[in-house]
């Protein structure tokens, strides 16, 4: 038979099992955390009508999209989870209760030029809270706080959630007479970190922003200080622009309540240079940087918007959300060797029967599983070395040997696969109940272990 070389399309991540199991653990931790805050899961089709996905056209989206026809239907693969959310909320409006809190973790598609660390199929993990007509700014404090708990729950500590508010920026531009091209100014400011102050000044000059105004703006926006110090600087403008005052008020509330949500001051800070290019955002905006790797850019971003679904409904649906590029994050963690590979196993116990009759092995394994212990039985007729090597390769923490003696005595031989050489209890022959108790004790320690482990 003709053999076809089994290869994937480029830009499509496919993990080997010991990586996949960690990816799943991370995904579960996200879901678990989102649910802890009362978010509903949703799941939308990967294929949608092109007219739905491309309602808001422009930019690179159309070039990158996977679009095709079948019969007389023009369809495309989703390129983010925001457009499907907008469609979902407009379509199911009468079935939803607002504020509507939803998470969605799903694959999205972008036919970009493939390059290292860039994916054409990748998971996004989004949370959004959608209001009907209005939505309290408290939600703007809750959303990044949830992300804080997601990252620390995974074992990541060394990150900063950076906050800004578009009303603050717009208010300042008003004061500096730049309202007309606020969006352009914002786009330029947004590049501050990337291109440096001089280039920003040059680009602003092209927009006829005076050198003096540019300097004042850059000094203010680039000011480094505690959240309270930055808020103090902004409060000095009080009474001069309604928009600015409102923005400062919102930013103050977000900063105050994030603390109450349990986010330590060291993990979030106001950064007035963050604008999030998209026109879409109207209030709070967020980016999240990995302190020791600023070069990888934001690992979790989002913000507040006034109108989620204007292309699909006349209802005003404001919302706030953040998104994690999960596939890219996983890729980076894997590259940096920050994943806790000791958790990458298929089972807690490998049951190794030493007799031809498997009855006892099957029955004892059932007891282990009833006790919540994941148990795989090695059924194949292989040499002992091969069987124990299997547990070793799969990083299974416990092996149980079940020979004629054990079966006769109603016992099992329990071996800790990765015990220290001098561990006196490395291998013991005990009753099934005692084995279960010992395994559970060992697993409880493992359960505390986080998916991400960053060396000091």
Is position 304 an interface residue for a copy of itself (rule: CB under 8 A)? no
Q: Which of 81, 127, 130, 135 binds a copy of itself (CB under 8 A)?
A: 135
The residue behind tokens 């926006």 is 221
Count of Cβ atoms closer than 10 Å to residue 205 Cβ: 12
Is position 237 an interface residue for a copy of itself (rule: CB under 8 A)? no
For the bound state, the minimum distance from the C-beta of residue 171 to a copy of itself, rounded and expressed in Å, comes to 24
C-alpha distances out from residue 289 to 158, 299, 403, Å = 9, 6, 54
Is position 288 an interface residue for a copy of itself (rule: CB under 8 A)? no
For residues 38 and 277, which CB has a smaller minimum distance to a copy of itself in the complex? 38
For the bound state, the minimum distance from the C-beta of residue 365 to a copy of itself, rounded and expressed in Å, comes to 9
Question: Considering CB under 8 A, how many residues would be counted as binding a copy of itself?
Answer: 100
What residues between 29 and 58 interact with a copy of itself by CB under 8 A? 35-49, 51-52, 55
Quick check: 251 and 165 in contact, CB under 8 A?
A: yes
For the bound state, the minimum distance from the C-beta of residue 272 to a copy of itself, rounded and expressed in Å, comes to 25
Is position 12 an interface residue for a copy of itself (rule: CB under 8 A)? yes
Rounded CA separation 357/360 (Å): 8
Binding segment (CB under 8 A) for a copy of itself, from list 5-13, 156-164, 185-193, 221-229: 5-13
Quick check: 37 and 142 in contact, CB under 8 A?
A: yes
Residue 189, beta-bridge partner list: none
For the bound state, the minimum distance from the C-beta of residue 381 to a copy of itself, rounded and expressed in Å, comes to 7
Rounded CA separation 181/233 (Å): 24
Binding segment (CB under 8 A) for a copy of itself, from list 14-22, 186-194, 273-281, 426-434: 14-22
Which of these, 203, 199, 206, 194, lies nearest to 273 by C-alpha position? 194
For residues 279 and 425, which CB has a smaller minimum distance to a copy of itself in the complex? 279
Q: Which of 26, 30, 75, 248 binds a copy of itself (CB under 8 A)?
A: 75
For the bound state, the minimum distance from the C-beta of residue 310 to a copy of itself, rounded and expressed in Å, comes to 6
Burial (CB count <10 Å: 0-12, 13-18, 19+), residue 241: buried
Q: Which of 198, 380, 422, 456 binds a copy of itself (CB under 8 A)?
A: 380
Quick check: 243 and 174 in contact, CB under 8 A?
A: yes
Quick check: 39 and 363 in contact, CB under 8 A?
A: no
Is position 280 an interface residue for a copy of itself (rule: CB under 8 A)? no
Quick check: 189 and 200 in contact, CB under 8 A?
A: yes
For the bound state, the minimum distance from the C-beta of residue 373 to a copy of itself, rounded and expressed in Å, comes to 8
Is position 343 an interface residue for a copy of itself (rule: CB under 8 A)? no
For residues 371 and 419, which CB has a smaller minimum distance to a copy of itself in the complex? 371
Rounded CA separation 1/23 (Å): 36
What residues between 353 and 372 interact with a copy of itself by CB under 8 A? 358-359, 362-363, 366, 369, 372
For residues 139 and 249, which CB has a smaller minimum distance to a copy of itself in the complex? 139
Binding mask 77-106 for a copy of itself (x = CB under 8 A): x--------xxx-xxx--xxx-xxxx----
For residues 101 and 287, which CB has a smaller minimum distance to a copy of itself in the complex? 101
Q: Which of 61, 80, 107, 354 binds a copy of itself (CB under 8 A)?
A: 107
Rounded CA separation 79/102 (Å): 18
C-alpha distances out from residue 42 to 24, 45, 105, Å = 18, 10, 9
C-alpha distances out from residue 151 to 88, 155, 373, 426, Å = 28, 6, 27, 35
Is position 390 an interface residue for a copy of itself (rule: CB under 8 A)? yes
Is position 350 an interface residue for a copy of itself (rule: CB under 8 A)? yes
| Paired sense of beta strands 319-325 and 349-353, if any | unpaired
């Amino acid at each position: 038979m003709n053999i076809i070389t089994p290869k994937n399309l480029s830009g499509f991540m496919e993990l080997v099992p010991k990586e996949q199991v960690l990816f799943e653990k991370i995904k579960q931790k996200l879901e678990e955390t989102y649910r802890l805050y009362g978010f509903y899961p949703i799941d939308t089709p990967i294929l949608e009508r092109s007219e739905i996905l491309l309602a808001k056209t422009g930019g690179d989206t159309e070039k990158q999209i996977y679009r095709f026809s079948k019969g007389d239907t023009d369809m495309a693969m989703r390129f983010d989870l925001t457009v499907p959310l907008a469609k979902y909320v407009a379509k199911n409006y009468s079935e939803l209760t607002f504020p509507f809190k939803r998470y969605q973790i799903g694959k999205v598609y972008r036919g970009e030029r493939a390059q290292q660390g860039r994916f054409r199929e990748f998971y996004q993990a989004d949370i959004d809270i959608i209001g009907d007509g209005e939505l309290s700014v408290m939600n703007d404090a809750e959303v990044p706080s949830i992300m804080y708990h997601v990252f620390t729950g995974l074992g990541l500590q060394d990150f900063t959630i950076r906050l800004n508010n578009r009303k603050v920026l717009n208010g300042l531009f008003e004061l500096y007479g730049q309202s007309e091209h606020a969006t352009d100014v914002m786009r330029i400011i947004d590049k501050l970190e990337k291109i440096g102050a001089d280039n920003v000044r040059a680009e602003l000059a092209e927009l006829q922003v005076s050198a003096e105004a540019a300097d004042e703006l850059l000094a203010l926006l680039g000011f480094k200080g505690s959240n309270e110090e930055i808020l103090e600087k902004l409060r000095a403008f009080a009474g001069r622009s309604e928009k600015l005052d409102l923005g400062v008020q919102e930013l103050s509330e977000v900063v105050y309540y994030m603390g109450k949500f349990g986010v330590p001051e060291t993990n979030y800070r106001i950064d007035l240079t963050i604008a999030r290019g998209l026109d879409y955002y109207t209030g709070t905006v967020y980016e999240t940087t990995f302190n020791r790797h600023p070069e990888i850019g934001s690992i979790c971003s989002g913000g507040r918007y006034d109108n989620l679904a204007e292309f699909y409904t006349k209802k005003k649906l404001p919302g706030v959300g953040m998104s994690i590029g999960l596939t890219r994050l996983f890729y980076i963690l894997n590259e940096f060797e920050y994943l806790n590979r000791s958790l990458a196993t298929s089972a807690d116990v490998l049951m190794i029967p030493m007799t031809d009759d498997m009855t006892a092995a099957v029955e004892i394994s059932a007891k282990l599983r009833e006790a919540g212990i994941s148990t795989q039985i090695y059924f194949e007729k292989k040499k002992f070395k091969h069987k124990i090597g299997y547990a070793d390769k799969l990083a299974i923490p416990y092996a149980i040997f079940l020979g004629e003696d054990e079966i006769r005595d109603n016992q099992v031989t329990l071996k800790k696969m990765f015990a220290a050489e001098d561990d006196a209890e490395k291998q013991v022959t005990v009753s099934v109940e005692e084995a279960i108790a010992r395994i559970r004790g060992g697993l409880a320690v493992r359960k505390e272990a986080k998916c991400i482990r960053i060396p000091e």
